[in-house]
Each structure stands twice: as C-alpha cells, then as structure tokens.
C-alpha cells in the first residue's frame, strides 16, 4: 500500500496572483504533511481560470511565470511532484498548460489538446489546442525561470512522466468528456496514474456525469485517477463546485466537498499500484496494449512511494467511499450561497440589500442569503480563520475583535438589509409576508410607501403632454397600462440603490450594500419583467433557476431551515401587484398575464436551448409529449405564443443582471446563450409550417380513452 496521491480544490480568484500563490503553497504543504508525494491542482490555478480576455495580455503570462518561480523556490515544493496550471506562450501561441515540477526543476509542460468551447466556455478564443499528439518540442524558458532552475529548455507537448515506480499521464478537464479521451491510449501504454485538472462549473443535476465518466474510465482501463477541480466564484457568473476525487479501478477512494467556504481543501488516498496491475491482466486489454503506440516518457529520479515500499496507510484514507449526491433543492441552497459569500468578501462591500415583494422569487433569494449566513456560522464554529476574518471585516469589526459569527440570524442582522416598497396596489398580505420573512432570517427591514414618487413622475408626464394615462381596468389602452406598471417597477430600482448606499450610514456603519435581484430563469426567458426595474441589480442569485425548482426549494427550506413562514409564500398566487384590482375583484396573476404556466416555460426553455429546437421542431416534439391532452392546433398556438413573446423581449437579455449559472437552458445573453436580440417576432415561415402541419395531424386529445390524460 502506497500513500502516493493527492488532489486539491482551491478557491482561486482571477488575477489575484498573490492570493492564488498562497493557496497553492498551502495545498502543497497540507499534501506533504499527509505523506503525499504527488500533488495535483485545478486548471489554470496560478492566474485563475476565469481571466477571459486577460489571457490575451502578456502581463497575465508574465505574472504566472513569476508565481511559478516563487513556487519552484519554496520549501513546500521540495521532494514532491506537483502538477500546476498556468497559461504559456510557445512559438507565439497561447496554450492552457500543466507544468510538472519536482524539487526546484520543471519536468515537462503538457498543453491542453481538446478545448471547451461551448456553453459558458470560449477557450479557443484565448488558447491554441496542441494537435501534435505523442509529440514534444523544446520550450525555451524565460530568464526568471532559468535563474531559478538552471534549465534552458524543457519538453513541451504530449508526453507522460515516468518515475522509478510508476507512470503518470495528464488529462485536462474537457479531455475527459471527449469520445476518444487521452486516458485510453495512455492507459494502454502503461500509464497507471492519471491527473485531471479542471474548472468545471456547477449546474443543477450535473455532478453525476463527471463521476460516472471517471469511474467508467478506471473500471475499464484500470488505474488511479486524480481529479482536481476549482471551487467558488473566481470573478464571473460561474460557481465551480469542487468535488475533487480520487478513483481507482472503478471505485471512488476519496472525494472533496461540493459546496464549501474553505479556500483550500486537500484529499488524499492510500492506493496500491499492485491492484492496478492486477486489474489489467485481462487478455483483451493485454492484446490492445501490445498494439498501442508509445508515448515519449520524461523521467524523474524519484519514487512516489518515497522508497519505503509496503507500509501501513492512514486509516482515514483506506478503502472506498460512497458517493452521495445533493438533491436539487440542496444544490440551490448551497451553490448560490457559496458564490454570494465569495462575491461579498471579494467586493469588500458591507452586505446585501434586497427589495422584498412578498412573492416567492424575492423570498427564494432571501432564503439563499440565510443559507449563506448558516454556512458562515458553521465555518466559524469550526474555527475557519479565513471565514472569521472576512466576516469580521464585512460586519465592521476591527481586526483584533473577538467577534465570532456563529449565530446566522445575528450575523444577518449585521450584513443583510431588506425593504418592502409598497404602493396603493400592494396588499396587506404581501407586506406582512415580507416583514415576517425578514424577521425570520434576522434581516434589518424597512417598510415604505412610494406612491408620492409614482405620482410625481406621472405628474411630470401629464404636465408636459396634457394627458393623464389610465390603467386598463379604468379604460386605458395597453400602452398606458404597461407604462403605469413599468414606472412603479423602475422607481423601485432607483429607491433600492439609494437605500443600499445610505442604510448602513443611517445605522452608523460604513460602506455600501450590493443590491440583489430576484428574476428567475423562466421570467427572463419569457421577458416577463420590466427592463431596468427592481430585478435590475448588482447580482441575481436565482437568475439561473426555474420557477418550478424554486418552489420545490422553498418547500424544502421550510422544513430543513425551520422557517414555517415559507408556507405562506408557497400558498400565495404569484402576482406583481402593479395594477388595481378590477371589477371582478381578481388580483393580477403572473401566469394569466404571461399566457403560459411556469411549468410550460421550463419545457419551452429546455427544448429551445438544450435540445436546440426552433419553432417548427419544438411543435413536433410537443405534439408527441402533449398530444394526449391538447390538440395539435392548441399546441401550435402555445408554441407560437411563446416564440412571439420570446422574440419581442429578447433585447432585455442584453441588460440582464449577472446571475449565478445554474440551469442548462439559461437565456443569459452575455456568454451562454448567444442569439440575436432583434428577432422577426412573427416567424412567418416557421409559423406557417406549424399551422400546415397542425391541420394535417389527428387530434388525439379528443379520442376515446384519453380522459385521464386530459385531467392530468
């Protein structure tokens, strides 16, 4: 049994070279203290993965070399093989690289071969893939490194590292997900330990895919797989969810946390290289291995077992571990909460501010803040020095303070501010729900009426034009009705920013607050919100989550967070409360106004983005799914209604508040969902084809025996 492996997950921050260096060195020190002789870190860990176009700047590469020089000279990096990530320029091309070092020397540089270039990723914009498979070239090292290592050139390319007792192969993030992953050919050529450095973002219900691929790879090939992933918010919309792991022969030996406030987490495992070799004795594997092409081996004069041979391993790292997955509700509670903590502490603001409407969306955002405060309290109770120091600074405590944020409600009272902005159309029920929710989580709550501000703006318009707009229930046109709703929403945004800047001052504190938005992914997709309204904010924790998932999350939090007030939010009808109640005494309903349910919106969203459906193909799929309880013409009308509203509101995505990426059908225009914002909303050709097909198809919804389907 050899304690030879380690994987790390770091909470890196793009362009924070000093902080990133400290975290890397700390991870190496922890690894060595546990007896490990191989340390693997996350992708591009020196500059941070999310530098984006900063990767095109020579400064980013220069500073990465400077940090690597510091690591090479450090005491921590002696007598241990380290796999470290940074960008490198080779022959005037930028490459996403792993630098293998050992005791003050660079062993080799392995550039990434297959790039992540869809969804949230644009690696081909910043890096060149290495397509010379099983080939290396000599890379000329910069003077700053030559002065440290005494080396002028090192191998650069697709090779493997050979120690006295085993062979190590590098696989980078996306390469695991490709159909012909490098680990297959490396394993056939005798590589026994695979390292994978990753910056894989969190998405609801996604983690199992990663783990299944790694288990399958090592089950079929045999071998030890070290997966190191970044964790936290590194400066953009993604939350990297850690879950670093060590697998051997299809079994998970150790796994890091998926959601944590820790800056550095290291996992180790006791592994038996003999078990890998025994796993590879099958006849078919031997035949394929004998025919495989050889990789160039770069030799390191060391043994990963430290020359100790068989020894007793640490009890905590023996055997396999059961993989436990969080439920989607737990993921919503934890992922955005961790991202919000990173954003708050790194922006150096005094806390968060949210306009509470009494509805379920702002309620969900508030509960996520409550979850963040619970995580802070838990980490502080366990003595996490970094969390305690950050919490003291945010709460306005001096550095030598003895304050410990171990009570989530008490901590929320220092850093979380809520406000109910009522008008003449607001109901007592929503006002009370907002107040009760803020009290339940410990927030500092303000209640106000803003009718004076609304009347003033309407008065200015009337003074200039001589006309006074009316709501629809009073005989006004749709243009008047919409404008009168929008001015209320936009004034709430103005008031939100004013209160966010001045409320800490009013309480005798310093600093400003970050304004939180509360528009869910379905409303963004449909465009059911006002541009530059109270959903416009600094950040939006729920902007990547569907209404359906949010309701399930609130039901979960009611029990697991012991917040009985949440039941009243689940029972309430979603309403914006922006228009007077009409003669029928029925309040404004979101789903009635949208002309579609939130459940339907989730279906449209997944078909549009994930399954890449235009109007015509979406209609075809929905006929198969909904045809037993809706006629083809009814389905056609729903599809056309969705695409019309999607098109006329697509421009709103250009101003969407940055939100944590959580859902695979996010309409975020910034990077994830690149589509025009001016679309032909009538879709004349597409809609005509839908209508023609709908007329030809039989109406299964009216056939006998389908009554139950109709009810469902």
Tell me which fold the domain 6-322 belongs to. Answer: Nitrilase/N-carbamoyl-D-aminoacid amidohydrolase (3.60.110)
Q: What 3-state DSSP class applies to 630? A: coil
Cα separation, 492 vs 420, in Å, equals: 10
357 is catalytic: yes
Q: What 3-state DSSP class applies to 137? A: strand
Domain range summary for the chain, segments of one domain joined by +:
6-322, 326-448+487-572, 587-704
Catalytic-labelled residue, pool 14, 21, 32, 43: 43
Cα separation, 120 vs 433, in Å, equals: 37
| Structure confidence at residue 702 (pLDDT) | 64
Residue 276, both tokens: 């890998």
Catalytic-labelled residue, pool 173, 373, 534, 613: 173
Catalytic-labelled residue, pool 357, 518, 535, 659: 357
Cα separation, 317 vs 618, in Å, equals: 50
173 is catalytic: yes
Q: What residues of the chain score a pLDDT lower than 70?
A: 1-4, 306-319, 576, 578, 581-588, 702-712
Q: What is the CATH number of domain 326-448+487-572?
A: 3.40.50.620
What DSSP string runs through 387-445?
HHHHHHHHTT--TT-------HHHHHHHHEEEEEEE-TT--HHHHHHHHHHHHHHT-EE
| Structure confidence at residue 707 (pLDDT) | 41
112 is catalytic: yes
**What are the pLDDT digits (tens) for 439-463?**
999 999 999 999 999 999 999 999 9
Same topology, domains 326-448+487-572 and 587-704? Answer is yes
Helix (H), strand (E), coil (C) string for 226-243 = EEEECEECCCCCCCEECC
| Structure confidence at residue 272 (pLDDT) | 86
Catalytic-labelled residue, pool 112, 435, 551, 609: 112
Supply the pTM of this predicted model.
0.90
**What are the pLDDT digits (tens) for 38-91?**
999 999 999 999 999 999 999 999 999 999 999 999 999 999 999 999 999 999
534 is catalytic: no
Superfamily, domain 587-704: HUPs (3.40.50.620)
| Structure confidence at residue 585 (pLDDT) | 54
């Amino acid at each position: 049994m050899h304690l030879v492996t380690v994987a790390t997950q770091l909470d890196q921050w793009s362009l924070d070279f000093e902080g990133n260096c400290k975290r890397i060195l700390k991870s190496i020190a922890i690894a060595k203290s546990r007896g490990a002789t191989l340390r693997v870190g996350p992708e591009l860990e020196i500059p941070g993965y999310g530098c984006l176009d900063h990767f095109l700047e020579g400064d980013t590469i220069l500073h990465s070399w400077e940090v690597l020089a510091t690591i090479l000279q450090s005491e921590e990096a002696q007598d241990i093989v380290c796999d470290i990530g940074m960008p490198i320029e080779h022959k005037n091309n930028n490459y996403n690289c792993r630098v293998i070092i050992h005791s003050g020397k660079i062993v080799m540089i392995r550039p990434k071969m297959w790039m992540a270039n869809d969804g949230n990723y644009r690696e081909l914009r910043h890096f060149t893939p290495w397509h010379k498979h099983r080939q290396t070239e000599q890379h000329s090292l910069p003077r700053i490194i030559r002065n440290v290592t005494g080396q002028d050139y090192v191998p650069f390319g697709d090779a493997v590292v050979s120690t006295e007792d085993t062979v190590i192969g590098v696989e980078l993030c996306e390469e695991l997900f490709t159909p012909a992953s490098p680990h297959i050919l490396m394993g056939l050529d005798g590589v026994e330990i695979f390292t994978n450095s990753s910056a894989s973002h969190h998405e609801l219900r996604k983690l199992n895919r990663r783990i299944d691929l790694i288990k399958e790879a090592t089950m079929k090939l045999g071998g030890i797989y070290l997966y190191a992933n970044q964790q936290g918010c590194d400066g953009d919309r993604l939350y990297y969810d850690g879950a670093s792991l060590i697998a051997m022969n299809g079994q998970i030996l150790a796994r890091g946390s998926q959601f944590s406030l820790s800056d550095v987490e290291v996992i180790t495992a006791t592994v038996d290289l003999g078990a890998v070799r025994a796993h590879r004795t099958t006849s078919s594997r031997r035949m394929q291995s004998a025919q495989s092409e050889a990789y160039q081996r770069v030799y390191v004069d060391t043994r990963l077992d430290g020359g100790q041979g068989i020894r007793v391993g640490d009890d905590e790292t023996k055997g396999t571990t059961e993989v436990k997955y969080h439920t989607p509700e737990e993921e919503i509670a934890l992922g955005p909460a961790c991202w919000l903590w990173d954003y708050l502490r790194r922006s150096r603001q005094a806390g968060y501010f949210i306009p509470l409407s009494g509805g379920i969306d702002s309620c969900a955002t508030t509960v996520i803040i409550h979850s963040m405060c619970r995580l802070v309290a838990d980490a502080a109770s366990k003595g996490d020095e970094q969390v305690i120091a950050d919490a003291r600074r945010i709460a306005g405590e001096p550095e030598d303070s003895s304050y410990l944020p171990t009570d989530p409600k008490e901590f929320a009272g220092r850093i979380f501010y809520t406000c109910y902005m009522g008008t003449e159309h607001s109901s007592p029920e929503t006002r009370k729900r907002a107040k009760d929710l803020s009290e339940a989580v410990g927030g500092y709550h303000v209640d106000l009426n803003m009718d004076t501000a609304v009347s003033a703006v309407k008065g200015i318009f009337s003074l200039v034009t001589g006309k006074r707009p009316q709501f629809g229930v009073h005989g006004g046109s749709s243009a008047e009705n919409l404008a009168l709703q929008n001015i209320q929403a936009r004034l709430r945004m103005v008031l939100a920013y004013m209160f966010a800047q001045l409320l800490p001052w009013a309480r005798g504190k310093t600093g400003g607050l970050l304004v939180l938005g509360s528009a869910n992914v379905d409303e963004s997709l449909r465009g059911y919100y006002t541009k530059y309204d109270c959903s416009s904010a600094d950040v939006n924790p729920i902007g990547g989550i569907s209404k359906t998932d949010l309701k399930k999350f609130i039901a979960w939090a009611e029990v697991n967070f012991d917040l009985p007030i949440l039941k009243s939010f689940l029972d309430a009808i979603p309403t914006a409360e922006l228009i007077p109640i009409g003669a029928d005494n029925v309040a404004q309903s979101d789903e009635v106004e949208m002309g579609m349910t939130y459940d339907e919106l989730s279906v449209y969203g997944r078909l549009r983005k994930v399954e890449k459906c235009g109007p015509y193909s979406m209609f075809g799929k929905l006929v198969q799914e909904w045809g037993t309880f809706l006629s083809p013409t009814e389905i056609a009308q729903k599809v056309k209604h969705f695409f019309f509203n999607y098109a006329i509101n697509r421009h709103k995505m250009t101003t969407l508040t940055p939100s944590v990426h959580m859902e695979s059908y996010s309409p975020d225009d910034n990077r994830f969902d690149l589509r025009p914002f001016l679309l032909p909303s009538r879709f004349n050709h597409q809609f005509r084809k839908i209508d023609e097909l709908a007329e030809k198809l039989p109406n299964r919804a009216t056939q006998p025996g389908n009554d139950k389907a109709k009810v469902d």
